[in-house]
Chains A and B, each alone.
Chain A
Amino acid sequence: MSEPKPRAKSDPGILRYDAFSRINHWLIAISFVMLVLSGLPFFHPFFWSLTGLFGGPTMTRILHPYIGLFMALFFAIMAIRFFKVSLIKRHDIQWLKQIKDVLSNHDERLPPVGKNNAGQKLVYWIMVLCVPLLLVTGLLIWQPYFADAVPITLRRLAAMGHAYLAFLAIITLIIHIYSGIWVKGSFTAMIRGRVSKPWAKHHHDLWYEEEMDKERRGKEHRGKEYREHEMSNQQHPSMTREEPK
């Protein structure tokens, strides 16, 4: 028999994002990137050539709002599901104060955090602010459907707001994508759903402890259930008998 691998390596780890969350996330991610690529040409002519990706300038103008509707729908679902884990706690403030340690990879100096760190929570809250406002301002300037019915000052305000909000959202998106590349294991977590226990302990200690507690309690519970089940089997032998024909 070969030597057993260390448990931490062979362990399936902890489920961080279930399949629904992952699909939800990537539907938003893909549509968000498409929105950025189709929106930037109207933000500054420097990006005009991106309209070529969407079948030309007019086609880009037509498609952009529909992609927006699609994303807003799936974002709403994710925003509701991720609400609780995104509430900002006291340790998050401390984490943010030590942002220098975060950036210089001095993780040992950081306070333990929950399932999401303050950076992830900020991404959540900035997007929760931006996406609904982008949706509303976008609807107000949507040609040929709504724009003509909107008072001109409101239309100008919406056009300006849409541009600034998009800028904020794009910067946030860049930080979000970079974090996924920078923090090893986080990208895999969003693809495959699971993280290793050492990873969880290192990056999200409070969440790790929570999950381990659950696991222990689960084992105890399952053990108890198993014993009860055995006993009941003894009391009711009829249950193991074949069904009558």
Chain B
Amino acid sequence: MRGEQINSQNIIARSATSVPSPQRRSGGVETVTKLIDVSRCIGCKACQVACSEWNDLRDEVGTCVGEYDNPTDLTPDSWQVMRFNEHENEQGNLEWLIRKDNCMHCAEPGCLEACPAPGAIVQYANGIVDFNSEHCIGCGYCVAGCPFDVPRISKKDSKAYKCTLCSDRVSHGLEPACVKSCPTGSIMFGTKEDMLDLAETRTDFLKGRGFENAGIYDPQGVGGTHVIYVLQHADKPEIYSGLPKDPRISPLVEGWKGIPKPLASVAIGLAAFAGFFHYLAAGPKETPEEEDEEVEKEMRADEERDQELEEKRP
């Protein structure tokens, strides 16, 4: 379900587009959500492999840098990575916090807001934010717009890439590849409502196990997300390899992409019209005739003076 490959007719938001997109078939579509329960993850990376497998991605085989992270960051060919953090808690005990990092599929996506190319980023009625690479121009604005630092520009084709939440699988009633591969049930998939319910039971369970601050990560600063986490320490999301505490679209991006732009566009048009109408009203600025005569006089005077000089010559 990538843009024009299949006409989904349920696009609720489209980059750089102010008129409505086809969304006749958005009725009855429930928003989907991927729940990542960090407390159940064993860091096997089966999801990472499944992602590469399903999406036909083959990232370069890296080298060991002394940690489990491999690759160490998202790339155009690795749409998800496992981030391992050896956290020392207040009791001085080690907690191995492993977070599956990928696109969060925000309800209010910063990438979509920043993108200048019409239709390069779309949001479907089911909540998935998808890059339609056919329309991508490679400007990198989506990178600036994203509060989670997710999109990556390919060196091969200068297009932006990120997790699609397996939009192609989901549109055919399948769960994303990472969900299917998870051996511990750490990754679950369903409607947002169901996933929030499930997350609730998990946080209750964790609280019972002594994790007082266990909670759900569904940041409201971006309107909630369609990838949510269950965290043992929801009060400190930063300890999960820099998960932002209160992510929102940067005010710099809002100030750049929001209302100022249409206003400025109108101002540019008005400036051109103002010139035209000023010309109609005031007319051209011309040199008056008298000025000709004055200069004429001066030039005659000069010439006479020159002649006098000439006559005085020995």
CB of B264 within 8 A of CB of A105, answer no
CB of A45 within 8 A of CB of B18, answer yes
Give A61 to B149 CA distance when docked, in angstroms: 22
CB of A144 within 8 A of CB of B155, answer yes
CB of A42 within 8 A of CB of B116, answer yes
Contacts of A223 in B (CB 8 A): 309-310, 313
A185 and B287 in contact, given A144-B153, A152-B149, A160-B256 (Cβ under 8 angstroms): yes
Give A182 to B310 CA distance when docked, in angstroms: 43
* Range of interface residues on A (Cβ < 8 Å): 35 or more
Contacts of A152 in B (CB 8 A): 143-144, 149
A8 and B140 in contact, given A45-B116, A46-B265, A198-B287 (Cβ under 8 angstroms): no
Give A157 to B286 CA distance when docked, in angstroms: 45
Residue from A11, A58, A156, A201 with most neighbouring chain B CB atoms (10 Å): A156
B 98-143 contacts with A by CB, 8 A: 114, 116-118, 135, 137-141, 143
How many of chain B's residues have a CB under 8 angstroms from any CB in A?
A: 58
CB of B117 within 8 A of CB of A7, answer no
CB-CB nearest in chain A for B286: A184
A 177-200 contacts with B by CB, 8 A: 177-178, 181-185, 196-199
B 231-255 contacts with A by CB, 8 A: 250, 252-253, 255
CB-CB nearest in chain B for A200: B295
Report the minimum CB–CB distance from A134 to chain B (whole Å): 15
A 200-238 contacts with B by CB, 8 A: 201-203, 212, 216, 219-220, 223, 227
**Could you give, for residues 3-39 of chain A, a 1 whenever the CB lies within 8 Å of some chain B CB and a 0 otherwise?**
0001111010000000000000000000000000000
Contacts of A143 in B (CB 8 A): 138-140, 153, 158
Binds A, one of B43-51, B176-184, B275-283: B275-283
Give A61 to B135 CA distance when docked, in angstroms: 12
Contacts of A197 in B (CB 8 A): 295, 299
Residue from B265, B275, B295, B313 with most neighbouring chain A CB atoms (10 Å): B295
Contacts of A203 in B (CB 8 A): 287
User: Contact check: which of A147, A181, A196 meets B279 at CB < 8 Å?
Assistant: A181
A 139-171 contacts with B by CB, 8 A: 141, 143-144, 147-148, 152-153, 155-157, 159-160, 163-164, 167, 170-171
**SS class of chain B's interface: helix, strand, loop or mixed?**
helix
Contacts of B16 in A (CB 8 A): 45, 48
B 154-175 contacts with A by CB, 8 A: 155, 158
Report the minimum CB–CB distance from A112 to chain B (whole Å): 12
A 87-127 contacts with B by CB, 8 A: 103-105, 107
Query: Is there a chain B Cβ closer than 8 Å to A47's Cβ?
Result: yes
**Could you give, for residues 44-60 of chain A, a 1 whenever the CB lies within 8 Å of some chain B CB and a 0 otherwise?**
11111000000001101
A7 and B144 in contact, given A170-B268, A174-B272, A198-B292 (Cβ under 8 angstroms): no
Query: Is there a chain A Cβ closer than 8 Å to B296's Cβ?
Result: yes
CB of B118 within 8 A of CB of A171, answer no
Give A196 to B295 CA distance when docked, in angstroms: 10
CB of B153 within 8 A of CB of A148, answer yes
User: A residues engaging B (CB < 8 A)?
Assistant: 6-9, 11, 41-48, 57-58, 60-61, 103-105, 107, 141, 143-144, 147-148, 152-153, 155-157, 159-160, 163-164, 167, 170-171, 174-175, 177-178, 181-185, 196-199, 201-203, 212, 216, 219-220, 223, 227
Question: Which 4 pairs of residues, A with B, have the shortest CB-CB distance?
Answer: A178-B275, A160-B256, A45-B16, A156-B252
**Beyond the given A48-B118, A174-B272, could you list 4 further A-B residue pairs with CB under 8 A, ordered by the A residue number?**
A43-B261, A58-B158, A163-B264, A183-B285
